[in-house]
Amino acid sequence: MLFDHVATRIDAERAHHLGFRAVRAGAPLTRLLRTPGKPVEALGLSFPNVLGVAAGFDKNAVGIDALAALGFGHVEVGTVTGEGQPGNPTPRLFRLPADRAVVNRMGFNNDGAEVVARRLAERRARLSRDEAAGGPVLGINIGKTKVVPDDDQAAVEADYAKSTRLLAPFADYLVVNVSSPNTPGLRNLQAVEKLQPLLEHVRRTADTVTSARVPLLVKIAPDLADEDVVAVADMALAIGLDGIVATNTTISREGLASSAAEVEAIGNGGLSGAPVRERALEVTRILRDRLGEGPTIIGVGGITTAEDARARLAAGADLLQGYSAFVYEGPLWPRRVLAGVGPEVGSGVGRG
């Protein structure tokens, strides 16, 4: 494959920027191609198809419509923080080709909520009414600014509230990210006693700045123990959360084909891609068993093939997202997956 011979020779973060630039430049052509799949009803919204781009690919909302032109039915931008921040020192993005995996310790590098909100306002002004109606569903993923201490609940809530006030008016749905391993203390916020008041505060804030209710979800880690996954599901039901994104990257390095020396040389960071598949699938099953037919589950983590996609839907996911497979498989990947998922998607068939 071209990736194996060329892309692996370039620094991973630089390759990402070059590839994303090419996606944006090629949008006028890719927009002409027919996308497989059928509409899916979830979160009270109609998604053009079941597959979207996971947060982390378009951190700053610069290529939403170009990504949709590749066939993605929804684009989740971010993670966006209340204040702009440079993220962690480089290098901070790495590939493990033998595992079809990516390790990142980006650290929520982004332009900040104010800049992203202005960009989204400009996009809205550009789009005609017809274009806006036919475009992708837009999710906005928000996270904690690094300098905000995780043990100061009031400061954490104020930080997320700032992003919510600025960004919720542009979001078709909003995701609270408390599960990246690359912001110190962030995962501590997954504890229900901290997470529930945070989500309730974000909910109240969103309702004050939008005329229509914006669906609210939380993104959780695959490293949560089963009982903690159940606790999050119970909390979601208790507070009327609209859904859960399952899952983020993992800190585990078990069962990798890559050499121990290569893995050790890369160091810390969140691992995504094929190695996350089985745990993300299991978390999806646990959530659906506990949630029943209610809240939406967005399945993400290790989805590479149409078979992977069908398995995640059968486990209880309503929607799917990809990132690492898109990096490895190239711009035709979303259309290949959607073509292989089958026409039953969107009709309620496949959830088991």
Annotated binding residues for FMN, written as ranges, equal: 55-59, 79, 141, 177, 219, 247, 273, 302, 323-324
CB 89 within 8 A of CB 100: no
Query: Which positions make up the binding site for substrate?
Result: 59, 104-108, 177, 182, 248-249
CB 74 within 8 A of CB 52: yes
Q: Which of 94, 105, 100, 103 is nearest to 275 (CA)?
A: 100
Structure tokens, 191: 């504890």
List C-alpha distances in Å: 192 to 173, 174, 212, 233, 282.
22, 19, 27, 10, 20
CB atoms within 10 A of CB 86: 11
Q: What is the DSSP letter of 348?
A: T
Q: What's the rounded Cα separation, in Å, for the pair 51 and 40?
A: 10
Residue 134, class by beta-carbon neighbours within 10 Å (0-12 exposed, 13-18 middle, 19+ buried)? Answer: exposed
Residue 1, class by beta-carbon neighbours within 10 Å (0-12 exposed, 13-18 middle, 19+ buried)? Answer: exposed
Q: Which three-class secondary structure state does DSSP give residue 33?
A: coil
Catalytic residue flag (residue 180): yes
Q: What is the DSSP letter of 34?
A: P
Residue of 128, 180, 211, 258 marked active site: 180
Query: Which positions make up the binding site?
Result: 55-59, 79, 104-108, 141, 177, 182, 219, 247-249, 273, 302, 323-324
Structure tokens, 72: 């993605």
C-alpha dihedral sign at 155, 157, 163, 169 = negative
Residues contacting residue 104 through CB under 8 Å, at least 6 positions apart: 56, 92, 93, 94, 182, 249, 269, 270, 272
Residue with tokens 């170009």: 66
Which residues form the catalytic set? 180
